[in-house]
Structure 1
Amino acid sequence: MSFQAYIDNIQKKTGKTPEDFKKLAEEKGFVSSGQVVVKATQITDWLKKEFELGHGHAMAIYASLKGKTS
């Protein structure tokens, strides 16, 4: 599955874009000044619990928070 397909599926499931997740991550203190400041596990655990994402989809959001766009 391509990175964009992961992002598209996440948006369909949650109604949230990568930018929405970035704002939420900033509110949680996971992202500061545009930089991820916690370990990937903290972010993926949050996404799995709160949004019921699978590991691969949670990692796609983590990658988008780190600046990956494709």
Structure 2
Amino acid sequence: MSFQAYLDNIQTKTGRTPADFRAMAQAKGFATADGIAPGIKATQITDWLKGEFDLGHGHAMAIFALLKGKTS
């Protein structure tokens, strides 16, 4: 599955766009405009995404990669 397919599936499941996830992660202090906030670990973000949005590990890691700056 391509990175874009992961993002598309996440949007279908949650109704949230990649930009929405960036904004929510910034509001929670997990990310900045430049990427992952200092000291934040992948597990903190994936636990949030799994708990709040019922995402699987692979989909949660796709959002983590998005927040780190991956674009394709």
State the TM-score, normalized to the length of structure 1: 0.95
Deviation at 1:34, TM superposition (A): 2.4
Q: Which residue in 1 is equivalent to 2:68?
A: 66
Residue-pair matches, total: 70
Two-structure CA RMSD over aligned residues (Å): 0.8
**SS of the residue aligned with 2:70?**
coil
Identity %: 70
State the TM-score, normalized to the length of structure 2: 0.92
For 1:1-70, list aligned pairs within 5 A: 1-37=1-37, 38-70=40-72
Structure 1 residues not aligned, in runs of 5+: none
Q: Larger deviation: 25-34 or 59-68?
A: 25-34
Q: Tell me the distance in 2 between the aligned counterparts of 1:12 and 1:3.
A: 14
Q: Where does structure 1 differ by over 3 angstroms across 4 or more consecutive aligned residues?
A: none
